Structure 1
Amino acid sequence: MLFLLMLLTYGCEETEQPYVGYIVIERAVVEAAANSTVTLIADTDIDSPIKLTLDEEAAEWCSVSVSGKEIHVTATQANTGSVFRTANVRARCGYRETTFTVLQKFEGQQYLEYDWTKWTATGNSCQANDGGGYPSLFNEDRTTYWHDQYSPSSIEKPWYIVVDMKEELECCMFQIGRRHYSKNGNNYGTVKHMDIYTSTDNENFTKVGEFSFDLPWTAPDGTVVESSTSPLIPPYEEVSLAEPVTARYVKMVITETNGNHAQVAYFKAYEKI
């Protein structure tokens, strides 16, 4: 009986799995023109040859080949559209498998927007029942927005919004959306001046950019806009950074307004590609 118990115990012990190595392949970015190429170097400690499989749909405009650890990607067709396109490539090396993405830029594209679906925001002034509050900063609908607090009491400026991007990202540009009123087409230029700061720990912030929107403002067609609401006011402000910054937190500080209140429709962050 004791022998049988020992046999069962030994048979149930976990066995150590053999080490099978690793493989990491970064995203490939190719230009919009046909026959644009890029070469990646696979990061792997496996000696086995790398085998690649390309999505069938992507095979119409993209080709991949491999030589040792070098992976060659070619855009066989030009991207004549106004948006980038992507392809997924499966790579197998020994017992390891991974997937990497091929991105073909559209003509003139310099930046790529980060995914904002998990981002959150807090701040020192928010009227949550007017516009949707902080969650409205992370969708394309500019009829929803953040609004400074005015009830039950107002808060003196400066007002700030801190965005948590949930991970450290290398940022090269930010885009600040303006509120839109669909019934008359007005965009709200209520933010007169905003300073932008970044941080990795939510404690130590460094100023990286700013923008001002002073009234009266002259539209590209020569029309002088004196009101803070007009269809001629641009739908967003872009703040390009002098140098890329690595940040998890972005603080938008509104120091001046055109009028008594301010709205922000969305916040976007971009990487350089």
Structure 2
Amino acid sequence: MVPAPPSPLPRLRSHGLSAPTGDEFRAAVRRAAGPDADAVWVRVCERVGVEPAASLLPVERLEALADALSAEPGRIGTVGIALGVRTRSYRALAARPGGDEDGERSFDPGRRTLEKLLRNRPPSDDRMSEVAGLDLFSPEARSRLDDAARRAADRFGAAIGLVSIVLEDAQYFAGSHGLSGWLAEVQGTPVEWSFCATMVRTREPYVVPDATGDVVQRANPLVENDGVAFYAGVPLVTSRGQVIGSHCIIGAPRDGFGEEDLAVLRQLADEVVALLESTRPAPAP
């Protein structure tokens, strides 16, 4: 008897999130690796025992693929980090007590259009090369950036502080303080839910006093289901002019986060960038 083909993993109604597919993994590798993509993909698939042409895979195999890609150098490694965040977000949300019983997320045409734009925006090769060239994902970086996130949260009396790196398919919390639940487990979110991704485009600070009433963010699943309300962030801009993410704080709704507060947050962000650039490998002679 011929075995039945695998079924797609169900879409999570509460967050509108689908699990990645093997095809999406392969496409991301092609964008990052160029002419070497097929060889990289076959090598990684062989390492984890996945058929390179497979599209529908269980979450465990997707996670194994993401971990194997994360171990690759350069931009391929960032692809693995991002797809790992997407896959683990799906797994963690699907495994919550009560499963996916929160009901369908709100339908907001403007929000859905924005999420499609964020998800499908072509990556900047220069920006992603900058991300790949910095020490963002090592245990040593995690310790330093967690401290930076804690300092920002403490400075403003916020519940959460983050150093968020915006990748192609996800935002990755390279440093965090105050997270709980699935966000603490995954340390990131799909890119289309990212407040921080706004600053990659605008290069300007982004403040949302109360996201529950904000026309852009009120239908964001992080607002509807995960309690994000106040948000203030400033872009992390390297000396080469690339916006790699943001330094931000999150908490209860508040008014009065003005220019003086933004100036302090900018200073803290500059310190984060200086810390990251101090670990940049020296150019070859």
Q: TM-score, normalised by structure 1?
A: 0.27
* TM-score computed with the length of structure 2 as normaliser: 0.27
| Bigger share in strand | 1
Q: Which has the larger radius of gyration?
A: 1
- Structure number with greater CO (CA < 8 Å, separation at least 6) is 1
